[in-house]
Amino acid sequence: MKRYFVVLISFLIVCFETYGQEALWQGEKIISPEIHKDNSVTFRLIAPNAQKVQVTGDFLPAGNSGKVDMMKNENGLWEYTSTPLEPEFYSYSFLVDGLKINDPNNVFLNRDIASLHNVFLIDGGRASLYKVNNVPHGSILQCWYNSPTLQMNRRLTIYLPPFYGTSQKEYPVLYLLHGMGGDEESWMERGRLAQIMDNLIAQGKVKPMIVVMSNGNASQEAAPGESSLGFYKPEMNLPKIDAKSIFTDMNEAKKLLPLLKESDKNIKSFPDIVNFMDQHFRTKKEKSGRAIAGLSMGGFHSMYISKEYPDMFDYVGLFSAAAIVPDVSIPPFENVKDKLKTQFEKKPALYWIAIGKEDFLYKMNENYRRMLDENGYKYTYFETGEGHIWKNWRIYLTEFAPLLFLN
Amino acid sequence: MKRYFVVLISFLIVCFETYGQEALWQGEKIISPEIHKDNSVTFRLIAPNAQKVQVTGDFLPAGNSGKVDMMKNENGLWEYTSTPLEPEFYSYSFLVDGLKINDPNNVFLNRDIASLHNVFLIDGGRASLYKVNNVPHGSILQCWYNSPTLQMNRRLTIYLPPFYGTSQKEYPVLYLLHGMGGDEESWMERGRLAQIMDNLIAQGKVKPMIVVMSNGNASQEAAPGESSLGFYKPEMNLPKIDAKSIFTDMNEAKKLLPLLKESDKNIKSFPDIVNFMDQHFRTKKEKSGRAIAGLSMGGFHSMYISKEYPDMFDYVGLFSAAAIVPDVSIPPFENVKDKLKTQFEKKPALYWIAIGKEDFLYKMNENYRRMLDENGYKYTYFETGEGHIWKNWRIYLTEFAPLLFLN
């Protein structure tokens, strides 16, 4: 009897060694963020040597310049308690003497290009859709497809609905695209895609469907760290332009062309992804079983892919889209108006446009809708407050998905 | 023409806003860690207000108390350049005036229970197996299975080998278990499972196989953040014991029993996972097509599961295992010696034991091997330097996997 306790203690040595690394304050474990019953939140950090500690994040009301001071308690524990917060999926960071750091007591982070932010969730209302609830869960598949058009192997994230594995059914497919700086992981991480789909399917509000999240950066195989480029610092592939002279100096303007070329490649090669899905998964293989939607640049892609292949997608969603229809003959803009005409003559089951009132692309969307109106092209419009933020894109997904595949 | 540049500039506004959050030093982007051609590594941090900045990590040679001072350059940029490093997958953190933080210029992190560490990889030798190379990639599936024994839905991580989707073949399966404090994500994250399998399969050194990574904490549905418990601070489920009185005070000793109960549940319910795999995947459904291996507590589980079901696994791997065989009748120890006898009478194709010379479980493994020797039970032994660390477990996987499914 004694001997196996000796062994168990050996077990525990490792445990306690690890355990010892945890942040303790007067022997108590630090909890941060702590969400109280009234939905106020306390943030905590042990930093006895710091002169000033602040917390910054999208949970703060506007008008406080985006950060608030935390108060130093005895023994170097800094604290800040927020006012009661609306249900939402929030992100935050600490500023320690000006240095932006993650909360060492919170292991949950979201990546935004080259920076990481801690996250927390205030449950309730629509935000309960962003939570893992005790409902049947879909499966997440990360796999690689071959693009004959791009001559590359590329990574995809696929959501398979609950019971996909046990049914023999064919499922409709939503192709869901990210914005600039994003990749095939963005909708899963910041968009809470799996949670939203699981919950809406469980509530019977959304038809069980496959969701495909591709990488919209045509020259990129996979998200940073997931390709043979190894670990590197993610960045926007942006040309260095002089914004002031871009309208007068054509050479400055031309620096933007690679961006368009990249988008054009994504648009023209998109059927490779649809073919891959139709070959390897139990998909509905006709227009009425396919939707495409995306945010920002992904909205632009959804708009251009759906008009480029007017028999491919019956449902189109433009979330805060760069809804640009210029009179130029550079790809992907060639004959855009003719192609839109063809697309709308074929009467898509749903052409859905959503944007926030404060979005910098609001005016562009207004112009686009006017153009659609003038031509008698039917669409559905959904408007929210605020701007070009993930909060809106999660809302748009929860509004858009229930409208899909009703025919 | 002009109009679409206006639009593109709108695009860019968002980009530059995000871009502006990146750490810059005198207008230059900070790269940290920067790996030089000679495999020395420079770490960088902008912290003009800090008094002392150090870097800590497993790349440092022993004997420097685990951390070294970084030097402050002009304008508050701190730097440290290491000596040339051996190829390996390393982790590190910064200490800013004693506060442990992640490198804000490195988005790649690994989680160790409740703490996060930055990672980097020095390519070469065996470590090239830990890298994403330009080879065919398997798929990663995160899905949920139902355990009738535990009466729970639980999350699994599954590696499907390259071409699983396009072949009609049945594949052998390796069940690969984590240690205490780990979960169904540990082998993917810290073990570089997908990279190791992709690379060894591409080199023809390992037979294409499915790898199943289950959650060995029987009362846990899924990794932290992935279950309906939401976001919470991960911790070891350890009883608070007084280690000194555990041998004299039976009440203290009894506090360890819940740990054993948890392990016993995992052992007894394991066939639920095998049944799920055999029902839903193209698996080889006989003993010669199944292997089980695990590290530390997972090695203990592999040992006990394989003897509990002697017709289930032909290949067994104990990596730094808690190889305990006590004379007590508490589950899961009932009749352990009889069960081992039965297992070895059935002559497993491989019974593989590996441990590091400095492992605190070394002695226990020595005793276990002596017992096996005394009984004439055949096993293969592999010994490394160092102790109870992931570096060793990655090595063991690269040594063990090529030995599987050769019959």
Q: Give the model confidence (pLDDT) of B88-136 as tens digits.
A: 999 999 999 999 999 999 999 999 999 999 999 999 999 999 999 999 9
The CA distance from A18 to the nearest CA of chain B, in Å, is 8
Residue spans of beta strands (DSSP E) within A163-229: 173-177, 210-213
From residue B366, give the alpha-carbon distance in Å to each of A168, B303, B336, B354: 52, 15, 18, 11
**Arithmetic mean of pLDDT over chain B:** 92
Chain A, window 103-142: residues with a beta carbon less than 8 angstroms from a chain B beta carbon: 104-109, 111-116, 119-121, 123, 131-134, 136-137, 139-142
The CA distance from A61 to the nearest CA of chain B, in Å, is 20
How far apart (Å, rounded) are the C-alpha atoms in residues A354 and A343? Answer: 19
How far apart (Å, rounded) are the C-alpha atoms in residues B390 and B192? Answer: 10
Phi, psi of A307 (to 5 degrees): -80, -25
- The pLDDT score that the predictor gives to residue A328 is 86
Contact B375, B351 (CB under 8 A): no
Cβ distance B18 to A181 less than 8 Å, yes or no, reads yes
Q: Which residues contact B48 (CB under 8 A, 6 or more apart)?
A: A98, B75, B76
Count of CB atoms within 10 A of residue B378's CB?
A: 12
Give the pLDDT band of residue A243 (cuts 50, 70, 90).
low
Cβ distance A181 to B227 less than 8 Å, yes or no, reads no
CB pairs under 8 A between A and B: 264
Give the pLDDT band of residue B236 (cuts 50, 70, 90).
confident
Q: Which residues of A touch B42 (CB under 8 A)?
A: none
Cβ distance A109 to B109 less than 8 Å, yes or no, reads yes
Chain B, window 354-393: residues with a beta carbon less than 8 angstroms from a chain A beta carbon: 360-361, 364, 388
* Per-residue pLDDT tens over the stretch A293-323: 999 999 999 999 999 999 999 999 999 999 9
Give the pLDDT band of residue A183 (cuts 50, 70, 90).
very high
Interface test with B, best of A3, A6, A7, A276 (most B CBs within 10 A): A7
Cβ distance A4 to B114 less than 8 Å, yes or no, reads no
Residue spans of beta strands (DSSP E) within A166-274: 173-177, 210-213
**Does residue A24 have a pLDDT over 80?**
no
DSSP letter for B281, please. S
Residue spans of beta strands (DSSP E) within B30-127: 34-35, 41-46, 53-57, 67-69, 71-72, 77-81, 88-96, 99-101, 109-112, 115-122
- The pLDDT score that the predictor gives to residue A1 is 55
Q: Which residues contact A108 (CB under 8 A, 6 or more apart)?
A: A118, A119, A120, B225, B231
Residue owning tokens 């109960």: B261
Cβ distance B48 to A388 less than 8 Å, yes or no, reads no
Chain B, window 186-215: residues with a beta carbon less than 8 angstroms from a chain A beta carbon: none
Closest chain A residue by Cα to residue B247? A2
- The pLDDT score that the predictor gives to residue B19 is 42
Contact B194, B200 (CB under 8 A): no
Interface test with A, best of B1, B2, B3, B5 (most A CBs within 10 A): B5
* Per-residue pLDDT tens over the stretch A267-290: 999 999 999 999 999 999 999 999
- The pLDDT score that the predictor gives to residue A64 is 61
Cβ distance A102 to B101 less than 8 Å, yes or no, reads yes
Q: Which of B13, B225, B326 sits opposite A4 (nearest CB)?
A: B326
Query: The complex's ipTM?
Result: 0.94
Q: What is the dihedral of CA A251, A253, A255, A260, to 10 degrees?
A: -140
Q: Which of B134, B143, B238 sits opposite A12 (nearest CB)?
A: B238
- The pLDDT score that the predictor gives to residue A18 is 45
From residue B377, give the alpha-carbon distance in Å to each of A75, B59, B308, B316: 58, 39, 16, 13
Contact A102, A93 (CB under 8 A): yes
